Amino acid sequence: MNEQKINFPVYSALFHVVDNLIFTRGKFSYKIDRIMGDNNDINLEIRNEERLKNKLFKEILKNYNSRIDHYKLLLNKLSPADITKFEIIKYKLVSNSSLDSSGNYGIYPRSFFCNKCGDMRSFKNNKEWEQFNPKKCRNPNCKGKYQQVPLLRFCEQCGKVEPLNYYCKDHGIDNWKLIRPEANVPSTWKVICTKCQMKGAKPSDILAYKCNHTIYGEKICEEDYTRFRPLVAIEGSVLNSVVITVVDVPQLKYNALLPYLDYILLGLYLNRFDSIFEKIDLKGKIDIDKIDLYLKLKNDPNLKDLIDGGMVNPHLMDMVKDLLYEIESLKLEFTGFNLENINDYLILSGVFSKDSSNVTTFIDFINSIDDSNKKENLENNFNDLKEDFKIENISYVADIRLIASSIGVNLGINKFYQNNFIPHFQPLWKNKSKDSLRAYSYPFETEGLIFDLDKVYVVNWLIENKILHKNPVKTNEEAIEILFQIKENTPEYEELKTLLHTFAHVLIRRSSLYTGLDSDSCGELLFVNTASFLIYSTSNINIGGFSFVFENSVIDWFRDVKLEVKDCVFDPTCIHETGSCFSCIYLPEFVCSEFNQALDRDILIGKKRYNEGFWVDLRD
């Protein structure tokens, strides 16, 4: 092989690549050897890195420690204090024409066999690798060519992944032969040392080897030896990048209130500070260049500079104390809640924005139409859609700033379809000593549509299914209060998440039929506590596509959705087991934010696992 390392540019949506990720291109599998950090001005800036850092580290902490606890591994758990050892690195973006690179990769595993005689070769020495000619078998009497052996071994107990390495204690590594009784069934494959074969030795099972639960000489599990499971690298099931996508919230001008940012945003939305602001005489002199105090605190919060700036007004000082007291009350009230997720939705919806043109509701769009007949027809169709699909609103967001961050990888087989499955999550360690870790981030601008479900209907649906134990609600205010109080990892949170996620997948899978947007160029964000989800564009080519959809195809997008959800070609097995599969609901993993977990058509139908489907008219 002439090239040991191949450089690659990251100039589009390849932000899910990370160190050691294994991927397929053509007939070979490769492994990312190195990702270059950003050192140019092509990238967008991360506007609020501290908030992003806190969000990502919480996910890393939760996922890694859960793995250690579940499998009883002898690894050091992360603590909140380890955030000081965590850094965010932006992907290095380069243009198509640039000779610069964002990283490099090489063929992996370096194991090959002759398609004629079965001669097997594995390369650890770079010099031998560079001289290797895959087009010609090294046996002079054989006319075969070498093919990659894309198999790896995976230990389901400790998470160890390694290539198939063979060593004969008498004859070393140069005399191995691969025997494949059934070419497409790796479990039938066997290997043998050709020199030992001359002495009557029998072939051995290629997967008979057992894991000793040791990595780099470190014992990571107390279990006895466990048999490896085969992984086929070309199927992309070896290392899956875990990507977290969040809204890039604008940074505070100052940092005094940064620890309270999410509580301030939530408090403003819930009107918790109104009585505090009413105590201030805004007509009095305030030494902040005549800036309105309310707007100062709402859009550019900074108590420290207000105090240090010589503010001696006793009413102002009382307000400062009252504000901090109310913030502490919010912290106690919303401990354990996913505030970042709630506030991401509020920011996208334009709750805190001065620019009202960035978010357009469908009602606003209808009202902007001059043709009275067209306007009336569209309004009637939208009202029917709202009733049929229990949607409260659809909004177009023209300018969205998101950050997609790869925080680690899930090792090996991802059995997300099993209850209580915990993946082997591995953070992105900076080195083998694991004394620091990192995440790779890609900030980007896009557009999208927010789908708000009918909150009153959602809450009452949860109550009818005995998922939520509350009295039925009648007003939107009552519903919002209940939704905001639902904590993560509770049954009601998980069921609501499944509802939103399934709804989003149904629309994304149908996006190319009526919108012209391919499902591969869409992304999703779920906002559980607001019963909403965002579908956005991940393609630079399709920017503007959602604007066209919003104005021309939204109603058509929902055409025949219920018929498609009701049946799957793999029913009754699909609907009886999980209500989701590759044929009906799944999306490619680089599209789905949840790795195709938390999906179930029955949540919409109500045949097997739900007393009442969300779309009641689907039940037979």
Convert the pLDDT of each residue in 580-595 to its tens digit: 888 889 887 667 777 7
3-state secondary structure 17-55: CCCCCEEEECCEEEEEEEECECCCCCCCCCCCHHHHHHH
Name, of 293-307, 464-478, 604-618, the range with top average pLDDT: 464-478
**What local confidence, expressed as pLDDT, does residue 11 receive?**
43
Q: pLDDT category, 75, cuts 50, 70, 90? A: very high
Q: Name which residue leads in pLDDT, 502 or 19.
A: 502
Q: pLDDT category, 531, cuts 50, 70, 90? A: very high
Q: Report the distance separating Cα 362 and Cα 386, nearest Å.
A: 11
**What local confidence, expressed as pLDDT, does residue 292 receive?**
34
Tell me: pLDDT of 448 over 60.
yes
Say which range, 9-13, 245-249, 374-378, 487-491, has the weakest mean pLDDT.
9-13
Whether 532 contacts 500, CB under 8 Å: yes
Q: pLDDT category, 320, cuts 50, 70, 90? A: low
The neighbouring-strand residues paired with 190 are: 179, 205
Tell me: pLDDT of 611 over 50.
yes
The neighbouring-strand residues paired with 410 are: 240, 425
Q: Report the distance separating Cα 522 and Cα 527, nearest Å.
A: 17
Name, of 41-45, 282-286, 453-457, the range with top average pLDDT: 453-457
Contacts of residue 582, Cβ cutoff 8 Å, sequence gap at least 6: none
Q: If DSSP codes are grouped into helix, strand and coil, which group holds residue 110?
A: coil
H-only helix segments in 334-475: 339-348, 362-367, 372-389, 455-464
Beta strands across the sheet bearing 151-154: 161-163, 151-154, 229-232
Say which range, 454-463, 534-543, 557-566, has the weakest mean pLDDT.
534-543
**What local confidence, expressed as pLDDT, does residue 12 receive?**
39
Rounded to 5°, angle at Cα 254 from 248 and 258: 60
Tell me: pLDDT of 180 over 80.
yes
**What local confidence, expressed as pLDDT, does residue 386 receive?**
93
CA distances to 146, 569, 586, 610 from 562, rounded to whole Å, are: 50, 15, 16, 17
Rounded to 5°, angle at Cα 96 from 90 and 102: 30
Q: Name which residue leads in pLDDT, 336 or 446.
A: 446
Amino acid type, 125: N
Tell me: pLDDT of 231 over 50.
yes
Q: pLDDT category, 96, cuts 50, 70, 90? A: low
Of the candidates 468, 26, 301, 16, which has an alpha carbon nearest to the alpha carbon of residue 6? 26
Q: Name which residue leads in pLDDT, 449 or 355.
A: 449
Residue pLDDT, tens place only, 450-495: 999 999 999 999 999 999 999 999 999 899 889 988 888 889 999 9
Tell me: pLDDT of 289 over 60.
no
Tell me: pLDDT of 323 over 80.
no
Q: Name which residue leads in pLDDT, 456 or 241.
A: 456
Tell me: pLDDT of 4 over 60.
no
Q: What is the mean pLDDT of residues 432-437?
A: 86
Please state the pTM of the whole predicted model.
Answer: 0.81
Tell me: pLDDT of 312 over 50.
no
Amino acid type, 376: E
Residue pLDDT, tens place only, 112-123: 999 999 999 888
